[in-house]
Structure 1
Amino acid sequence: MKRLAATVLSILFLAFSALPVTVAQAQEQPRLRVDLDELNPRVVSTTSTSLTVTGRVTNVGDRKISKLGVRLQLGTRLQTEQQIGDVLAGDKFKDLATTEFVDLVPDTLEPGQSAALNLAVPLGQSSKLQFPKTGVYPLLVNVNGTPDFGGPERLAAVTLLMPVLGIPGKAPASRPLSAPSASLLWPIANSTVHVVSSPLGGPLTVADERLADELAPGGRLDALVAAARAAEADTKVSSSLCLAIDPDLVATVDGMTRGYQVATGGGPVPGKGVDTAKNWLGQLKALVAGRCVVTLPFADADLTALTKVRAGDATDTALLASAVGGAAAIKNLLGIQPQDGVLWPGGALDAQTVEAIGKAGVKTVLTDSGKLQSDSPLSGIVALEGTDLRAQPIDALITSALNGSESTQNGLGAIAFRAGLGGQTGQERSQLLIAPPRHWTATGPELTTFLERMGDFYAAGLIKSSPLPDLLGESPSGTASVNYDPQDLTAATSGDVTAKMSQIDNETLGLSSAMTMDATKRVKPADVIAPVRLALIRAASTSWRGADAATVTGNARGDLDAIRGQVTVERPKQTIALASGASPLPAYITNGLPVGVNVRTVLKNNVGLRPTEAVPERTVPANGAVNQLLPVEALRAGRFSVDVSLTTPDGTRLGTDARFELTSTEYGAITIIITITAAGALLLLSSRRIYRRIKDSRADPAGETTPRVTEDAQV
């Protein structure tokens, strides 16, 4: 009983010890979500009279929350890049000023319910929010409440960077004597890989209608184009804007304009976004006319991953060249020549990749300043050590600020900080290349507001509008080397993916080497396998990060199987009767491709049948067929089956195996010879045994036998 009591007490002790941990973990779950609809003004100036914040607060927890209130908290002026980074990471800051809590209406929310958030705070000498001087300040929208079974606490907060160009009610402050030059990249790229297949001469098939939704009015891609077109009224904003375009996106939308299919569980169905694609592509053509355009890698591929496909002496350098050579596609489809040799790659670039893209024709890379290592602060263009390439740094702090739910506001704060409002020497830059996330998801109104406030910065002299070609045209300010950290390697395309890509690439190479151009069709083998090559590049897209290898490479595998599946052996509809033991086996080989294909026929599972000589290679003409007589010999009579398959001369599999059902009533010549020889040997041994027995019986007339080991027994 003592042991039992001790055991029970131990279990109870462990259970109660674990209880606070469980409660603590539950408390870490979000209770409220704050969605801001409006922040006005975005930039505080001498003419600002009030600060307005509107939005909604939603109970996303599992308990009722009451006594909801909201207030604003203003932090001290930010003076270092580290302080900006801490605020963007959501760290707490020291309060400079706070407003009173204002009750939400309603002030009690059941799970799933929402309440409007409305705050209007006067700005000026008597305001609760006093800005001591110009600069960039952290502003917190703080929502407090009391959950059931708990006490009052902060349940949600949104942190914003607030640029202050002038103190409300005071005279304008003097601007820096030398404002930095600023250029802005405007990414127009796929948010994910959409294409499932796009065979030569066949219909484009996409995974779903997400791309059509993004192209439609109000969609993500429509908003990016519409905001940039609206900014054309401001010449300074317009001249500083450079469109960064994904060739895969443009090619896919162009394909949609001619009709496309959507993959479903029950088979492909016609796509509904043909007119939407036509309209968006027309809007994009109008936008790019006469503008600066730079190229993204095809499908925003991880270029370092592509250098690891068939790595070594057999590295597929053409795959990477295709990924960085999208300028020709953009010119062909949009009628605009992108900046010569300028590329904005994603992901970390190692030394091998830098060398490879240089050989592929790239002259200048636009890259995150954090991925470059130099002895001095990076601002202008630099030469990459040991190469002929140049690198234009993209400000990493601004890019980080433009990533997130309140990206446009925080981006404005980071730009103002870099322009000199930090108040500390060394934090400002003489040149700014501003780049949002490549798959930017800001709403249309937010994008428009961001460009309008950029116009205000230009007008106020905080920054100077500079076309990107002007930045790139300057001489290098120094040298740098590529630099990446363990976090970059963790986010990179996995080795499992590149291994599967290498396997598919090898099979594609074997297939293409067996193809020949047909004199009448005039189709190049490279055009036939191009869909597989593009699918391999899409498999390296940065949008796949974290997906398993089979999913990532599935489309490429499907395209390859569809191509080689068109060269196959037809399965006979009836049993084939071999007229003699050495009758040839007739095989009918068809080729549905517009190119000739050299094939080799192989027998499998051919017990009872053997080839009598090597089967010669045959060329099956484009969209044609040939009869192939396979020299075989039956090893037995009766009914049996054999599988006939096709490969290229180097062994790459083609089509699917065809099972032949056979009957044979005769043996082949070799089989007959073996049978006769065996019968003769059996007759000879039997005769010898009979002779020995007769001889032994004569030697023992009394009938006595003596046990002995005869040669027959030994045999």
Structure 2
Amino acid sequence: MAAAHPTRRTHRWILSLVALILAVLTTGVCALPAAAQPTGNGTGAAGPKFLKLSLDSVTPTAITESSDPYFVVSGTVTNIGDRVVDDVSVRLQRAAPISTASGLRTSLRLDQINYDVAGEFRDVADRLESGQRKQFSLTVALSADPDLPADVSALDITTPGIYPLLLNVNGEPAYGNQARLDDARFLLPVLGMPTATATATEPPASPAVPISPDVPPVATTMIWPLADRPRLVAGIPGSVDSYALLTDDELASSLTVGGRLDQLLSAVESAVKSDGGRDLAGALCLAIDPDLLLTVSAMISGYRVLASPSDPDGPTRAGIGTQSAENWLDRLRTLAPSMCTVALPFAQVDETALAAVNDLTLTDRALNGPADIVDSLLSVKTLRGVSLPDAGTIDTDTANLLAGHGFTTTVLADNAVTPLDGMSTAIGARPVDDTPESANPDVVRLPDVTLATAADSPPLTDPGLRVATFDIWSATALAAVGSHPPTPSFTPEQVRYDVTNDSRAARLQDALGAITWTALNPQADRPRSALFMPPQQWGANRDEATALLGQLKLLFRNNLATPRTFADLIAQPAEAQSYELNYLTKAADEAVPREFVDPVRAQAHRITELMTALAEVPQQELSPRAFLTPLRDDLIRTLTLSDRRSGGQPDTMAQRRLEQTTHTVDELYQSVSVLPPGGVYTLASEQSPLLLVARNDLPVAIRVEFRIDAPAETKITEIGEQVLPAKGTRSFQIPTEVSDSRNLVIPIALTTPDGVPLGNAVTVSVRSNAYGQALAIITACAGALLLLLAGRRLWHRFRGEADPADEGFDPETRRRVNRFRRARKREMHRQEDR
């Protein structure tokens, strides 16, 4: 038999190799969907992603006795892969109702096997091409009913509670098998069981008795923050006629209709006005950032915006938010007097960094000044004596700082304090970053932190600093609502994850469930109270904020909660058990680095030294305080926590702000100086005054002293403290005695009354017309000779002898001289008579 042709054998080898490669690739591709299956909270294991499932809405967001016995879930499936996906379908699953507070977070990370009650898969699309999306809606009944339509699933929910739900999407990618490709998790609050129905679309013929939880209402308080990141450009002292300069114009967008701050304010306005808003207004307290108010107020007078935020000395443009700022501030002025109002620390300052700086004046501006600012700009009386740190946790130095500045209470996360004895109590102790199942009392005391009292004040009944605690689980869920959601520092490490993987609708549902859980789940070791604390720079829009406020009103109407004012909360007695601070490690990681502490302290000290030298003048438009306070504000903004959660470059921004402020302070000190006279200054005599001119380029008057390092040959009398007028010069005569006729170099400088140098020192070359010691000797010798000669003449005259000095002098000549003198006198008299 003939051998095969060599070319044919080669072709067969190539075909076999190609078949083998295709088989390997097909096997690998078929296994890809399994690797891409999500592991919880919408995040998948390492491997390619094919579909993205997003929750769009849940209607209604909470189930009550008056609700329909079914709800509608809407979502969107998007093909985010590089190949088509066939047979796309979704279904809804649920897990057991949440029985512990930590379950509000941990249930969202459960594997889908824990969502053991599942509905039927419903088709979404036969095929989704790469980049294509498809919306869908699922109608879901709470409990099974034989008469339910075929397209309605049931989840067997029969009792009130907070239920974790999982929306699951399956599909078959090209070259793969049918598999679960993504999921979305969220919470469904069920406040009460609706009446039973025969179908999902028709009401029952005879309604059944509804089921509702039989628990005492929860005393509820909610803080409503209005804050923004620092926007004013650093290094601009106060003035009477200049425009404010902002780093960008994002605040204008936030204040205008549809902006973040506009929507937060609108939601409260609408909520408290509807039905009189009595319950809601009593439960809410506006927490306002004074830095925001100062910025908005400055915008009303007209402002400029940097063309490039990274170039503070570059070109600027006119801001567009003047009218929006005025409208927003007027609305806030109308609303604030009718509600509880409390001032936040200035510019969301890191209070631990502020304590490390330890500057009295800077601390007073950051902690005590905010209440005065809010009161002045809004015409209200804010709640005093309570501090709301942005991080929700502080260290001991910060606690002592607050106590020393008149604060009796601070608001912290309930895992930021632990019992002093370190042992479990009825309300439970917690180690750092643990996941507690119990909460601390509403108010606890820190006996190791003693409040400051005036010398003439009576002793305090309880001198320890008090801590009002808020629930970390609801606070974590509230922080996730809205755009750019942060994960707070007090959220335990083991339940932290990227919440942006969830849709905004899912995060809103989680928050609704979190603020409802305590009302539905009475715990023996938990107080029947709740303090809800959103993040200070909150990103919730109007719809989300309205839904949350609506949930509170729903709890009030169903007698599951009762409003409690913030003032009542912080005024209630503290727990008898003593507590200590538990400064959380994550907060320490996110705090302002220590490298900013020393420079901020140094500049704050220099500003204080300059402030003590400035003079209050009645005719002066600008006061020293108004002139220098903006620079102090810039130092506080350097210590802000706001930029540290924006995902930008917080250290770079803080360093730039610090450098701008430092540069301005340097210029202020250089603005007061002695003008160099130029050339050699010649004194008319040895006791002639030294004439000097000092100039003050500051817009405020300043008190100065001359510092003159006089050489040994010169004696200069100090003239003491002097005042230089604003934007002016002044001449001074310095009493000077010079005992040398040589050119003398005299260094002269200006200082504050406390001796702090101002401007640059100058040198004055001085030369005196005096002859010094030789002149004194010659004068003395001449005087002695004169006395000797006069005594000699008198001696001879008394003896009646002619003075030998007159010998040889002609008597006739003497007579002629005498006649000439007499004739001259007569002529002078005639001239005078004329």
Q: TM-score, normalised by structure 1?
A: 0.76
Could you tell me which amino acid in structure 1 is paired with residue 104 of structure 2? I
Aligned counterpart, 2:600: 501
Q: 1:324 to 1:184 in 2, by over 3 A?
A: same
Alpha-carbon deviation of 1:268? 2.6
Contact residue 412 and residue 450 of structure 1 kept, 8 A: yes
Contact residue 290 and residue 336 of structure 1 kept, 8 A: no
* Counterparts of residues 173-572 of structure 1 (less than 5 Å): 173-196=211-234, 197=236, 199-201=238-240, 202-232=242-272, 233-234=274-275, 235-265=278-308, 266-309=314-357, 311=358, 315-316=359-360, 318-320=362-364, 322-347=366-391, 348-374=393-419, 375-377=425-427, 378-386=440-448, 387=450, 388=463, 389-404=465-480, 405=504, 406-421=506-521, 425-426=523-524, 428-479=526-577, 480-518=579-617, 520-521=619-620, 523-545=622-644, 546-548=650-652, 549-557=654-662, 559-561=664-666, 563-564=668-669, 566-567=671-672
Contact residue 301 and residue 541 of structure 1 kept, 8 A: yes
Alpha-carbon deviation of 1:592? 2.9
- Compare 538-547 and 142-151 and name the one that shifted more: 142-151
SS in 2 for 1:517: coil
Could you tell me which amino acid in structure 2 is paired with residue 396 of structure 1? I
Contact residue 307 and residue 320 of structure 1 kept, 8 A: no
Whole-Å separation in 1 of the counterparts to 2:339 and 2:383: 10
Alpha-carbon deviation of 1:33? 5.2
Q: 1:602 to 1:187 in 2, by over 3 A?
A: farther
- Compare 242-251 and 138-147 and name the one that shifted more: 138-147
Contact residue 602 and residue 644 of structure 1 kept, 8 A: yes
Whole-Å separation in 1 of the counterparts to 2:126 and 2:144: 32
Gaps of 5+ in 1: 1-19, 604-610, 637-642, 670-715
Tell me the alpha carbon deviations over residues 115-164 of structure 1, each in whole angstroms, 9 at most, x when there is no partner.
Answer: 24322223142433221422111112334456667665555433212112
- Compare 454-463 and 230-239 and name the one that shifted more: 230-239
Tell me the alpha carbon deviations over residues 657-683 of structure 1, each in whole angstroms, 9 at most, x when there is no partner.
Answer: 7999x9x9x9999xxxxxxxxxxxxxx
SS in 2 for 1:81: coil
Could you tell me which amino acid in structure 2 is paired with residue 539 of structure 1? T
Could you tell me which amino acid in structure 1 is paired with residue 360 of structure 2? D
Contact residue 363 and residue 390 of structure 1 kept, 8 A: yes
Could you tell me which amino acid in structure 1 is paired with residue 246 of structure 2? V
Q: 1:88 to 1:651 in 2, by over 3 A?
A: farther
SS in 1 for 2:415: helix
- Compare 436-445 and 510-519 and name the one that shifted more: 510-519
Aligned counterpart, 2:154: 128
Whole-Å separation in 2 of the counterparts to 1:35 and 1:76: 22
- Percent of counterpart pairs with the same letter? 27
Alpha-carbon deviation of 1:90? 6.9
Whole-Å separation in 2 of the counterparts to 1:547 and 1:108: 45
Aligned counterpart, 1:163: 189
Alpha-carbon deviation of 1:88? 4.6
**Paired residue for 1:80, among 77, 84, 100?**
100
Contact residue 307 and residue 317 of structure 1 kept, 8 A: no
Whole-Å separation in 2 of the counterparts to 1:554 and 1:191: 19
SS in 2 for 1:282: helix
Aligned counterpart, 1:682: none
Alpha-carbon deviation of 1:432? 0.7
Contact residue 104 and residue 115 of structure 1 kept, 8 A: no
What is the Cα-based RMSD across aligned positions, in Å? 4.2
Q: 1:651 to 1:121 in 2, by over 3 A?
A: farther
Contact residue 199 and residue 559 of structure 1 kept, 8 A: no
**Paired residue for 1:172, among 191, 207, 210?**
210
Whole-Å separation in 2 of the counterparts to 1:186 and 1:367: 16
SS in 2 for 1:325: helix
Could you tell me which amino acid in structure 2 is paired with residue 401 of structure 1? A
Whole-Å separation in 2 of the counterparts to 1:427 and 1:172: 29
Alpha-carbon deviation of 1:322? 4.0
Could you tell me which amino acid in structure 2 is paired with residue 142 of structure 1? N
SS in 1 for 2:619: coil
Contact residue 73 and residue 99 of structure 1 kept, 8 A: yes
Alpha-carbon deviation of 1:558? 5.0
SS in 2 for 1:410: helix
Contact residue 419 and residue 429 of structure 1 kept, 8 A: no
Contact residue 416 and residue 581 of structure 2 kept, 8 A: yes
Contact residue 294 and residue 344 of structure 1 kept, 8 A: no
Whole-Å separation in 2 of the counterparts to 1:430 and 1:125: 34
Q: 1:106 to 1:317 in 2, by over 3 A?
A: farther
Q: 1:99 to 1:317 in 2, by over 3 A?
A: same
Aligned counterpart, 2:27: none
SS in 2 for 1:306: helix
Contact residue 97 and residue 129 of structure 1 kept, 8 A: yes
Whole-Å separation in 2 of the counterparts to 1:363 and 1:156: 50
- Compare 271-280 and 540-549 and name the one that shifted more: 540-549
Aligned counterpart, 1:594: 700
Tell me the alpha carbon deviations over residues 574-613 of structure 1, each in whole angstroms, 9 at most, x when there is no partner.
Answer: xx6659999x99876342321225276899xxxxxxx999
Tell me the alpha carbon deviations over residues 509-538 of structure 1, each in whole angstroms, 9 at most, x when there is no partner.
Answer: 332233233353275433321111111122
Whole-Å separation in 1 of the counterparts to 2:705 and 2:55: 64
Aligned counterpart, 2:168: 142
Contact residue 50 and residue 120 of structure 1 kept, 8 A: no
Whole-Å separation in 2 of the counterparts to 1:563 and 1:34: 59
Whole-Å separation in 2 of the counterparts to 1:303 and 1:27: 40
Whole-Å separation in 2 of the counterparts to 1:52 and 1:594: 67
Could you tell me which amino acid in structure 1 is paired with residue 304 of structure 2? Q
Contact residue 230 and residue 292 of structure 2 kept, 8 A: no
Q: 1:141 to 1:651 in 2, by over 3 A?
A: farther
Aligned counterpart, 1:677: none
Q: 1:249 to 1:88 in 2, by over 3 A?
A: farther
SS in 1 for 2:642: helix
**Paired residue for 2:136, among 100, 113, 118?**
118
Contact residue 106 and residue 115 of structure 1 kept, 8 A: no
Q: 1:26 to 1:457 in 2, by over 3 A?
A: closer
Aligned counterpart, 2:727: 623
Equivalent residues, number: 622
SS in 2 for 1:42: coil
Contact residue 179 and residue 430 of structure 1 kept, 8 A: yes
Whole-Å separation in 1 of the counterparts to 2:748 and 2:126: 76
Q: 1:518 to 1:450 in 2, by over 3 A?
A: same
- Compare 545-554 and 354-363 and name the one that shifted more: 545-554
Contact residue 191 and residue 213 of structure 2 kept, 8 A: no
Alpha-carbon deviation of 1:169? 4.3
Contact residue 303 and residue 320 of structure 1 kept, 8 A: no
